[in-house]
Structure 1
Amino acid sequence: MNISVIILAAGQGTRMKSELPKVLHPISGRPMIHYAIETAQRISDDVTVVLFHQAERIEKEITREFEGIRFKLQDHANYPGTGGAVMDIATRHDRVLVLNGDMPLVTAEALEPILQKDGDIVMSVFDLPDPSGYGRVVVENGEVQAIVEEKDCTPELKRIETVNAGVYLFKKEVLDRYLPLLDNDNAQAEYYLTDIVKMAREEGRHIIPVWVEEAAFKGVNSRYDLAHAEEMMQERIRERWMRAGVTMHLPSTIFIDSRATFHGDCTLDNGVTILGASVVTASHIKSHTVVEEADIKNSSVGPMARIRPGSVVIDSQIGNFVEVKKSKLTGVKAGHLSYLGDAEIEEGSNIGAGTITCNYDGRKKYKTKIGRNVFVGSDTQLVAPVTIEDNVMIAAGTTVTKDVKEGSLAISRTPQKIVERFFHRFFGTGGENG
């Protein structure tokens, strides 16, 4: 498409009250600016991101995921404001779309009505029943006549419900003509893109308004806005996967990272959290289970289990209060109350309640290997590094510190001792024959 895109991401975002740059605040697992860039790359091969506040940090985060992005450092000292941000950018194409880096909900589909219009300037607008705080957009005969800041509105203008949604499509020659004419003669001493609209209108240019859905063009300026945007993003993500065949029970209680993927016949129960680039295939994730950067296939997990990063669970049954960390489980049953970290467990093995892989000695982490058809009794500690070969039984209450050969029984228990009548002597109750 014959369009260049400029994404504005230079602002400090003081209303976020955070050391983290505003555009790096995450929404559904990704920095919010990633969504704007992803949308931009769907419609253009020429994307420029304008930076200033913590520019290096933001650029590093963007280049970790995206290629082909150009960066422009705004001359904020001399040319602050939205108009200053787009100065001196050599775009490749004849039309230039200006997006905002704090607008994570905008999509290529939502932008399509803007891109289809042919005007010197095309600008997004929407109607608000209560437009307080917004500049009003005066539209007559199908074209924008003026953008008036609320403080400058007459009582009549304040009754206008049409407001600026903040996305513009300029002809390149319009920017080339009017950007050098901008001044900062205003209360904020900044250079504004809206002044280009004013100058273009005064010279009879065609400025076309396009009414858009507020939800898609919502900006994030505070932690409240961030939470609201994430709610809307989650609705999109859940709808997408339900339409793709994922069953969700009480979907409003389920959180799904934007990077997660599902394949086959999957079911998510209420309260489930799927984080990172997890992959869930033909599996049932039960209530209040957390899956984080893990691969789950043909398995049931939970309720109230935790599958941590680096784990692969295949053809297995993982029950309640089981934590799996950086382990590969294939054809395993771990019913309840276990920690399996840095382990490899093969088909047919059963992990009893209270089993722990003791993988960390305070300095290093070590691996536990469990073969096929191993029965691990309850309350077992497996002190890594250790290898349990196939067809082994480990008695309940055992602490395993040495490798166990195929076909063996491992048992380590202190001999049971019974002291008769100890209870009565200890508490002085006397008891029978006391």
Structure 2
Amino acid sequence: MSNSPSFPTLAVILAAGQGTRMRSSLPKVMHQVGNRPLLGHVLATAEAAGIEHVAVVVGPDTPAVAEYVQQVAPNARQFVQQQRLGTAHAVLAARPELLRHEQGCVLVLFGDSPLIGVQTLAHLRQTLIDGAAVAVAGFTTEQPGPYGRLLVEDGRLRAIREAKDASPSELEITLCNGGVMGFRADHCLWLLERIHNDNAQGEFYLTDAVELANAAGLSVVAVEVAEEEIMGVNDREQLHAAEQVFQRRRRSRAMREGVTLAAADTVYFSADTVLEADVKVEPCVVFGPGVRVGRGARVPAFSRLENVRIEAAERA
């Protein structure tokens, strides 16, 4: 992402969820895909995208999350959402950082959505540069079921309609809400502070910003992305699904970069695995954390490697 000084980017990453459906004492965003916490993937993508400022909103009862952020992203500012009162309330926990960020754009990301990519962040940011006050990531699916529908007219996003509130014709819409949103910084706080909690759950919903922005005559745009980009992890089955997508992507990338995988589906990568060109990986190999394989090396079948560097054997 090529950022300009006149349009700096702030990523607000929401990581305060308890994750009760994980049935675990471990905070949800600390569960791992590719041997890296879910939150770590989002932080890594923000860094790879060249985002200048990062704020992470954590819960009051998850010291492990705060410690992890300090370890891997020491420049990120942390804010505590003392009460879990909805997504807009969570973003407003980072109010001091939003006040400092008066120009450019604000991207709201989720610490439990590890598969979002650099290009998606770039697309959202460019939409804001091009004049939108609010940009909402959406995805098309043939089974929209419980997802909120994006109601687009004349190229503008007019509303996000929850499935339970949708009319029969609206339920036929296949463009659905992906959750991730971007705001022009000069409109962000103004919109967030006008969101109310007069709903059945008594929560402050970030999606209400769409209606507020439209009512104020601001431009709101839906940005279509691949469904897997905004795949959230709320339970163990979704964690498994995210792992499968990660491994598929990582195998494909390795082969594009000149690595031979003799039986790709039997090779498992960690997020930090480094394989140089002309490496050959035999079947049934697991790369644990901290592995680097040098150019031309061979990794034997049924290997499990961790914290090791492998070089090609010297020829006599």
Separation of aligned partners in 1, 2:82 and 2:210: 22
CA distance in 2, matches of 1:73, 1:149: 28
Q: CA RMSD in A?
A: 1.8
Q: Which residue of 1 aligns with 2:57?
A: 50
Deviation string, structure 1 residues 282-318 (Cα, Å, up to 9, x no partner)? 322222111111122224xxxxxxxxxxxxxxx69xx
Q: If you compute each CA radius of gyration, which structure gives the higher value, 1 or 2?
A: 1
Question: Which amino acid counterpart does residue 215 of structure 1 have in structure 2?
Answer: E
| Residues in 1 aligned to 2:63 and 2:282: alpha-carbon distance in whole angstroms | 41
Q: Please give the secondary structure, in 2, of the residue aligned with 1:86.
A: helix
Determine if the alignment matches structure 1 residue 13 to structure 2 residue 19.
Answer: yes
How many angstroms does 1:52 deviate by? 0.8
Q: 1:197 to 1:260 in 2, by over 3 A?
A: same
Amino acid paired to 1:98: V
Contact 2:60 2:81 in 1 (8 A): no
Aligned residues: 300
Residue 192 of structure 2, aligned match among 172, 175, 179 = 179
Kept in 1: contact 2:191–2:209 (CA 8 A): yes
Distance 1:253 1:26 in 2: 19
**Among 4, 14, 21, which residue is 2:10 paired with?**
4
Superposed CA deviations along residues 357-391 of structure 1, whole A, max 9, x for unmatched, are xxxxxxxxxxxxxxxxxxxxxxxxxxxxxxxxxxx
Query: Could you tell me which residue of structure 2 aligns to residue 218 of structure 1?
Result: 231
The 2-side partners of 1:94 and 1:262 are apart by 37
- Deviation track 1:44-98 (CA, whole Å, cap 9, x = no partner) reads 1110001115332101112222231110111316xx1101011124232431111
TM-score (norm 1): 0.66
Match of 1:70 among 77, 102, 117: 77
Instruction: Flag the structure with higher strand content.
Output: 1
Structure 2 counterparts to residues 34-433 of structure 1, below 5 A: 34-41=40-47, 42-52=49-59, 54-76=61-83, 80-87=85-92, 88-91=95-98, 92=101, 93-117=103-127, 118-281=131-294, 282-299=296-313
Distance (Å, rounded) in 2 between the aligned partners of 1:230 and 1:202: 41
Letter in 2 for 1:266: V
Using the TM superposition, give the Cα deviation of residue 254 of structure 1 relative to its aligned residue in structure 2, in angstroms. Answer: 0.5
Cα distance change on mapping 1:129 and 1:64 into 2, 3 Å: same
| TM-score normalized with structure 2 length | 0.90
1:31 aligns with 2:37: yes
SS of residue in 1 equivalent to 2:132: coil
Q: Check the 8 A contact 1:9/1:50 in 2, yes or no.
A: yes
Identical amino acids, percent of aligned pairs: 32
Question: Structure 2: where are the runs of 5+ without partners?
Answer: none
SS of the aligned residue for 1:12 comes to: coil
Shift of 1:131: 0.6
Q: Give deviations 1:179-235, integer Å, cap 9, x for gaps.
A: 222221112111111111111112221101111111222111111111111111111
Q: Is the 8 A contact 1:96 1:172 kept in 2?
A: yes
Q: Which amino acid aligns with 1:283?
A: A
2 CA distance for matches of 1:113 and 1:205?
19
**Structure 1 regions of 5+ residues with no counterpart?**
300-314, 317-330, 332-434
Contact 1:75 1:84 in 2 (8 A): no
The structural deviation recorded for 1:264 is 4.8
Q: Which consecutive segments of 4 or more residues in structure 1 shift more than 3 A?
A: none
Question: Are the counterparts in 2 of residues 55 and 73 from structure 1 also a CA contact under 8 Å?
Answer: no
Q: How far apart are residue 8 of structure 1 and its match? A: 0.7
Tell me if the contact between 2:105 and 2:125 (Cα under 8 Å) persists in the aligned partners: no
Q: Which has the higher contact order (CA 8 A, sep 6+)?
A: 2
Distance in 2 between the 1:57 and 1:288 partners? 34
